[in-house]
């Protein structure tokens, strides 16, 4: 079991549930040290007072807040711990809401809540079953890292999960980021939905961090004195501006079908209009079709003429043989 990060209790009305908080996620990133390139010595960050230019030890550092220019007040850890907060050592459930009403943008870090001791087993199970049988989630307030936070309690595989959430005033309004109004046809929307349907999967367990794997390969090669692996090929994909949105959607649907082993023959619902190219314009579809028919007719005529000549030679040979 991971090391507990916090110990306290869930406050659910008059019910108290002793719990411990453990992290629900793990960090698998590759972490680098800062080094002096000439001798590989570690480069450290020193904390220096800007007034006397002296290095300051950790026990000489405190928290300060600048109330005005040149005026700073200090706040000690003891004063913070003694703040009159009911959530100082409790996760206080303050409301229940429908799970669908929570904006995912507000959800931050996630933690598992483990029952702390046998005395917590029954109330922990009671809260878990109550949440499992409803479509609601619990909203709670708790103190964490020197500030009060808003939290969300839900169930994951039999365990109570605490999601740290942003306060309503911490979420920016995205309206100014929306693009200007444009017309999107129903056919384009249907193709986008078809593409989404082809790309739908049951779970995300098959995804992995390819960047981290490539970085580990580079580190392993350099540690063994080998050449750094060559960059991966881009697969020959053409990159550039999408000229025809419907054509791009049709091509994407076809590619999605082919990637799943389907024939992809019925992927193109609408005729793909040719995109402009740097050297000029691609011939219209009707002209391309007409030229294809003309070429086919020429080939048929040529084959027919060759066959007649062959039959004529055979007839002449038979006459000579008979004479």
The series of mean pLDDT values per 10 residues for the chain, 323 residues long, is 82 88 88 93 93 92 91 87 70 92 90 92 92 91 84 93 93 84 85 85 84 88 87 58 65 74 50 42 44 46 48 49 45
State the Cα angle at 138 between 135 and 143, rounded to 5°. Answer: 160
Length of the chain equals 323
> Contact, 84 vs 137, CB < 8 A?
no
Closest Cα to residue 188, out of 252, 241, 238, 239? 252
| pLDDT (0 to 100) of residue 115 | 92
Look at residue 154 in the predicted model and tell me its pLDDT: 94
Rounded Cα distance between 266 and 225, Å, is 52
CA angle 72, 77, 78 (to 5 degrees): 115
Distance CA 131, CA 123 (A): 12
- In the prediction, which pLDDT does 234 show? 59
Q: Go through the domains of the chain in sequence order and give each one's CATH number.
A: 1-26+73-169 (2.40.290.10), 188-198+243-274 (no CATH)
Say if residues 162 and 152 touch (Cβ distance below 8 Å): yes
Residue 239, pLDDT score? 52
CA distance 153 to 139: 6
Note the pLDDT of residue 230. 82
pLDDT, position 15:
86
> What's the pLDDT score for residue 241?
55
Q: Taking Cα atoms as reference points, which of 21, 146, 141 lies closest to residue 83?
A: 146
Residue keyed to tokens 């999408």? 242
Other C-beta atoms closer than 10 Å to the C-beta of 195 total: 21
CA distance 74 to 65: 6
pLDDT of residue 150: 93
HEC profile of 175-231: HHHCCCCCCCCHHHHHHHHHHHHHCCCCCCCCCCCHHHHHHHHHHHHHHCCCCCCCC
């Amino acid at each position: 079991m991971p090391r507990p990060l916090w110990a306290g209790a869930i406050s659910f009305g008059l019910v108290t549930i002793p719990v411990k908080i453990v992290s629900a996620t793990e960090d698998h990133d590759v972490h680098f040290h800062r080094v002096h390139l000439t001798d590989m010595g570690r480069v450290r960050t020193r904390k220096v007072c800007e007034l006397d230019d002296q290095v300051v030890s950790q026990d000489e550092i405190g928290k300060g807040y600048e109330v005005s220019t040149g005026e700073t007040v200090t706040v000690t850890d003891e004063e913070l711990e003694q703040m009159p907060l009911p959530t100082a050592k409790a996760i206080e459930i303050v409301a229940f809401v429908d799970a669908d009403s929570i904006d995912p943008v507000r959800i931050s870090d996630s933690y598992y809540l483990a029952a702390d001791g046998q005395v917590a087993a029954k109330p922990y199970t009671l809260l878990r079953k109550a949440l499992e049988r409803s479509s609601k989630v619990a909203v709670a307030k708790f103190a964490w890292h020197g500030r009060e936070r808003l939290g969300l309690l839900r169930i994951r595989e039999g365990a109570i999960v605490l999601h740290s959430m942003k306060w309503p005033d911490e979420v920016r309004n995205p309206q100014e980021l929306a693009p200007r109004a444009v017309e999107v046809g129903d056919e384009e929307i249907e193709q986008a939905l078809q593409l989404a349907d082809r790309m739908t999967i049951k779970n995300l367990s098959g995804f992995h961090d390819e960047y981290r794997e490539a970085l580990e390969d580079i580190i392993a090669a350099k540690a063994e004195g080998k050449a750094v692996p060559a960059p991966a090929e881009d697969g020959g994909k053409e990159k550039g501006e999408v000229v025809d949105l419907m054509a791009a959607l049709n091509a994407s649907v076809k590619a999605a079908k082919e990637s799943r082993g389907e024939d992809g023959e019925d992927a193109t619902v609408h005729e793909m209009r040719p995109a402009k190219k740097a050297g000029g314009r691609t011939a219209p579809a009707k002209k391309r079709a007409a030229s294809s028919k003309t070429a086919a007719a020429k080939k048929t005529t040529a084959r027919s003429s060759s066959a007649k000549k062959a039959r004529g030679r055979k007839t002449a040979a038979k006459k000579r043989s008979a004479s």
